[in-house]
Structure 1
Amino acid sequence: MIYNPKTYATIPVGVVIRRAPGVTRWAAWSWRAVSVMPGAGAADWRELRRDGDTVDYHAATAQMDLHGAETEAYLQGISARVPSVYVVMRQNVGADAASKPFHVVLVTASPFEAQDYADTGEEIVEKVAMPEGLVAWVREFVDAHHQEETFKKRRRDKTDVNRVEDGVGDPRIHQLSDVYRAPASVRKGRVH
């Protein structure tokens, strides 16, 4: 897909992930995305704040993209009671998993795109409150590119849906041929 630069915008967004003590004996730690930082620089699990056992990390910075074709989704997202962005993460496996348990896959302002990722069940999708500056940036983009779709009424075909076909498919009524066979198999009035 080719994007028109006039209907495309991007901004770096830092993702803050909080590690807190787990609430059950089966999970030592609870991890969740708690905030985003628009315009953040690159980061790789840099510690931001520590309060006892609770630690906030600037885990990663991802590019948040806005596309002119998705303005309906952005409009729904910023019109919510609490405008939000969605952080899509995938659990790391291997040697780094202990110090960097998640990889940030995507940051999006589209609730529809976030739902697509949530439906797969392979990623973790966290809803995070959108900072006011980011709300203003998304709203400005939507105002510039959103076009309401005109409603088009479909025309119905003229098929009579209430028509009764006596005997079609009824095994008690003798048929010359199989009524479910494709019409191409009946040629010149003969049944094959």
Structure 2
Amino acid sequence: MAEHMNETSAPARPAIEVDVVMRREPVSGPMSRWQAWRWVLADVLLHSTPDETTASEPAASHEPQAVEPVEGSAEHPGTHWLFPRFRVELFRDDAEGYFLNLNSPSPCFWVVWRPDDERLLDGEPMAVPQTVTLSYHDAGRWLDAQERVEQVAASDDVTDWLRGFVDANYQPEPKRRQRPQSFQALTDRFGQPVRISTEKKGAGPQR
């Protein structure tokens, strides 16, 4: 998980709260012989705006609630479970990660979830979200750590809010000026320096 700079002396970080919806759906085809059900990320819903989040206390837990299918998911069989109030904070030292998300084909939320052996559904572990991010860098680190990471498109309200933060905090590193080719040392195919002579070939000794 990403480690960010200590900003305890700074004003409260921009944040929103979201609800994560997971779907438990039947497995079809040959795989159903070994696995009857699977869990997938169904949606991430905006729970509170930045102003509302600043005035609220972080959620003590994310107890799941059985819910009806979210809009656009009615065609998917199975059951839906909502895990409320995940806080998504923005860190100034990860502005590049948010910039990369915004400039992807579809800006999104990334959600890490794990099977929880203490929460069972029909005797099988329930999929429990662990954290939510808008950072491309966070998602990459979690994938490198072999975590289960899924993504879902962010709403226009969220991308507008994220873009405002990026515009105010992201400064691309200046590109280093490339050294002109004429100033680079010449080498032969063995990597040895090449000596250049200005004398004309075939010219005899000057008198």
Q: Aligned in 2, Cα 1:48/1:64: closer, same or farther, shift over 3 Å?
A: same
1:36 matches 2:44: yes
SS in structure 2 at match of 1:77: helix
Match status 1:2 vs 2:6: yes
User: What is the rounded CA distance, in whole Å, between the counterparts of 1:53 and 1:35 in structure 2?
Assistant: 15
Residues 154 and 6 (structure 1), Cα distance of their counterparts in 2 relative to 1, 3 Å cut: farther
5+ residue gaps, structure 1: 165-192
Measured in 2, the distance between the counterparts of 1:150 and 1:8 equals: 27
- 2:126 is the counterpart of 1:101: yes
SS of the residue aligned with 1:11?
A: strand
Return the letter of the residue paired with 2:47: G
The answer as to whether partners of 2:22 and 2:43 remain within 8 angstroms in 1 is yes
Q: For each residue in 1:53-91, what CA deviation from the matched residue of structure 2 results, as whole angstroms up to 9, or x when unmatched?
A: 422211243111111111111111112221111001122
Residue matched to 2:108: 84
Query: In the alignment, is the contact (CA less than 8 A) between 2:108 and 2:151 conserved in 1?
Result: yes
Normalised TM-score (structure 1)? 0.70
Question: Measured at CA, do residues 82 and 69 of structure 1 come closer, stay the same or move farther in structure 2, by a change above 3 Å?
Answer: same
Alpha-carbon separation, structure 2, partners of 1:144 and 1:10 = 15
What fraction of aligned residue pairs are identical, expressed as a percent? Answer: 25
Instruction: Tell me the residue number matched to 1:46.
Output: 65
RMSD: 3.0
Deviating more after overlay: 42-51 vs 28-37: 42-51
- 1:74 is paired with a residue whose SS is helix
Q: Which residue of 2 aligns with 1:111?
A: 136
Task: Tell me how many residue pairs correspond in the alignment.
Answer: 161
Name the residue aligned to 1:18: 23
**Structure-1 residue corresponding to 2:161:** 137
Unaligned 5+ runs, structure 2: 49-58, 180-184, 194-207
Superposition deviation, residue 92 in structure 1: 1.0
Higher strand share: 1
